[in-house]
Amino acid sequence: MDVYFQLVTDAEAVKAACERLSAEETLGFDTETTELDPHDGDLRLVQFSSGKGSVIFDMLPFREKGGVRENAELAPLRDLIASERHRKVVHNAKFDAKWVRHHLGCELGGVFDTYLASLLIAAGETERRHSLADVAQFFTGVELDKSEQVSDWASPELSQSQLEYAARDAAVLLPLHRQMADRLKADDLERVAELEFETVVPVAEMELNGFFLDEERWRERLTEVKAVAEKKAEELQDLLAAGVAQATLFGRTEINLDSHTQVMGALLNLGIPMPESTRAWQLQPLAGKYPPVAKLLEYREVQKAATSFGENILEFVRPDTGRVHADFRQIGAPTGRFSCSHPNLQQIPHETKYRRCFRASEGKKLVIADYSQIELRILADFSDDSAFIEAFVSGQDFHTMTAAQVFKVKPEEVTAEQRSFAKRLNFGIVYGVGASRFGLMTGLSQTDAENTMRKYFSTYRKLDEYLRTSAAKVTDERIARTASGRTLKLRFDAANRQEVGAARRYGVNMPIQGTSADILKRSLRLLHDDLRSTSGKLVNIVHDEVIVECDAQEADTIAATLESAMVRGGEEYVRKVPVKVDVNVSDEWTK
């Protein structure tokens, strides 16, 4: 593929090129960088493509003339990048958005992300790949050679091959955009695509902002828990060795306590009637009778605290910012939920001793907001069940209200046990819980569990009907859809009862979980716009929770801003019940 390009290296050419590019409605956009993290390296090239060829802006000459970020000669380029009127077709725009934000100081406006579009179109089909080369191949048939991607972009003189690569990567985006835009329209994915595209910049900024982690607090907790883990390990070794102690004259037989195979063997040796696995919920009933089982559970708990939440997370604290800058994948799950890694800030234990380590930096506050029972509100909205809706509209405690309705007593007469049943059932139905599992988690017999569930569904007839018709529909059409139009293709063998059952649960759950993700994404965009002229910075999100860091004196106003953005985001998709958001201002990631 031959490609025409122009290389721009001085102020005059920047002005002229940007003027010409401004006439275009849609532009391909790409960058080449010397590292993967914008904190570590330099932005070398900024490329645009139009139907008339590619323009490559070399940042090196500008950096040599006193830096790139404040350079007035680059103003036309910054304006073009930030402009919402010009569509920028970008593959994985979060990457480029971070680099231009950090190095040029501007936002990337008008995003059309071919990576996210490809994920939406694939709708959960796992065998599809989503690199630019794969996506270009799939939608346009063009073969891309990515061998220069990892070449030396810091070199003073770039080779012809490097420049051609840079130009070609940008040029391929326009034909790709035409194909993908058609496909998004045909699949009725335009609304969710826009939602995703508008989420890119807020997420890019969140990653750049990072979340402050108090290393000293984390280390203190870790030192403590490591000592306990060592002690528990000793004690557990002693207890497990009892079964074979007579056979070993020369001290105790050590087993690997982290090996479930060895642990299972050792417990069997002691004559303990072991269940299928050594998972905590299966061992729990045996803990009262068998001290080694109880000790194993204690060991596992502290061992988890010392490893999964140990030294490793400290390696993600950047020395230059003092903060962790995790990777957020905005379509991390096929339901549309985010996933997070390096480190995963969505799985930090809820206990105060962990959460207090994530705190506001000096002079700042954290504003922490979360949706109150958003998934159940979505379910109420989808099902249109008047009693279920009423339980929310009443404004009283939801689980108490549902318990009152199900057990036919006054709300003030609901016992703690009744509320607990209702609560677990309320959560369980979102996942398609069955009577046996419900019985297992409540301690009810199979019959009592069935009776309680029958009572529940006869109280909420329309909810029951919704769940049934929804399950029938998704297995019939083999596709599930959220409120924004996000889709998930379901694959199952209709002759296999287990697969059909899984598909029904999955197909019922996906629109609920996915709509919750839609709502969070919408609120992130609204929030991003509302925080623009404030000290507020997005620092973390956990599915239904948003955390903003801001100047202490501005915290109360920003709390109101955040709550409003989240409520408005929710109200775009949920209308039949109120959307409730709880907000707290704190020094730490705790209430």
Residues forming contacts to DNA in the complex (CB under 7 A) are 256, 258-262, 264, 276-281, 297, 300-301, 304, 307-308, 310, 312, 329, 332-335, 337, 339-344, 346-351, 424, 427-428, 430-434, 436-437, 441, 497-498, 501-502, 505-506, 509, 513, 542-545
Please report how close the Cβ of residue 508 comes to DNA at its closest, in angstroms.
8
Residue 317: DSSP 8-state: B
CB of 471 to DNA, least distance (A): 12
What's the closest the beta carbon of residue 103 comes to DNA, in angstroms?
Answer: 26
Least CB distance to DNA at residue 306 (A): 8
**Least CB distance from residue 571 to DNA, whole Å?**
19
Q: Given the complex with DNA, which of 110 and 343 has the nearer CB atom?
A: 343
User: Which of 102, 329 has the CB closer to DNA?
Assistant: 329
Residue placing its CB nearer to DNA in the complex, 431 or 568? 431
**By C-beta, is 149 or 372 nearer to DNA?**
372
The number of C-alpha atoms within 13 Å of 489 and in the hemisphere containing its C-beta is 12
Using the structure block, give the residue that is written with the tokens 């890019």: 204
Judged by CB, which is closer to DNA: 4, or 281?
A: 281
Instruction: Assign 203 to helix, strand or coil.
Output: helix
CB of 352 to DNA, least distance (A): 11
The rounded distance, in Å, linking the Cα atoms of 244 and 237 is: 11
Burial group, residue 253, by CB count within 10 angstroms (0-12, 13-18, 19+): middle
Straight-line distance from the first to the last Cα atom of the chain, in angstroms, rounded to the nearest whole number: 58
Q: Cβ 153 to DNA, closest distance in Å?
A: 24
Rounded-to-integer distance, Cα 38 and Cα 218, Å: 26
Q: Where are the beta strands (DSSP E) in 347-436?
A: 364-371
Looking at the Cβ atoms of 13 and 228, the one nearer to DNA is 228
What minimum distance in Å lies between the beta carbon of 467 and DNA?
A: 13
Neighbours of 217 (CB within 10 A): 16
Whichever of 242 and 297 has its CB closer to DNA, that residue is 297
Lookup: tokens for 71: 């350079």
Q: Are 569 and 331 in contact (CB under 8 A)?
A: no
Beta-carbon count within 10 A of 412 CB:
7
Question: Would you call the peptide bond into 334 cis, given omega within 30 degrees of 0 as the criterion?
Answer: no
Cβ-based nearer residue to DNA, 394 or 420: 420
- How does DSSP assign 449-513, residue by residue? HHHHHHHHHHHSHHHHHHHHHHHHHHHHHSEEE-TT--EEE----TT-HHHHHHHHHHHHHHHHH
Q: Return the number of the residue (169 or 464) whose C-beta is nearest DNA.
A: 464
Query: How far is residue 121's CA from residue 124's CA, in Å, rounded to a whole number?
Result: 8
Please state at what angle helix 374-383 crosses helix 386-393, rounded to 10 degrees.
Answer: 140
Q: Which is nearer to DNA, 112 or 460 (CB)?
A: 460
Cβ 323 to DNA, closest distance in Å?
16
Give residue 158's identity as a one-letter amino acid code: L
| Residue with Cβ nearer DNA (159 or 259) | 259
Among 300, 292, 245, residue whose Cα is nearest residue 267: 292
For DNA, give the closer residue by CB, 177 or 399.
399
Q: How far is the CB of 333 from DNA (least distance, A)?
A: 3
Closest alpha carbon to 523 in 561, 493, 552: 561
CA angle 139, 140, 142 (to 5 degrees): 125
- Put residue 155 in one of left, alpha, beta given phi > 0 → left and psi -120 to 50 → alpha: beta
Q: Which is nearer to DNA, 102 or 543 (CB)?
A: 543
- Closest distance between DNA and the C-beta of residue 324, in Å? 11
Say which residues have a Cβ less than 8 Å from residue 568's Cβ, sequence separation at least 6: 523, 526
Q: Give the type of residue at 246.
A: Q
Q: Are 154 and 64 spatial neighbours (Cβ–Cβ below 8 Å)?
A: no
- Smallest gap, in angstroms, from Cβ of residue 373 to DNA? 10
DSSP-H helix ranges across 92-241: 93-103, 114-122, 132-140, 160-171, 173-186, 190-209, 215-241
Nearest distance in Å: CB 555, DNA: 21
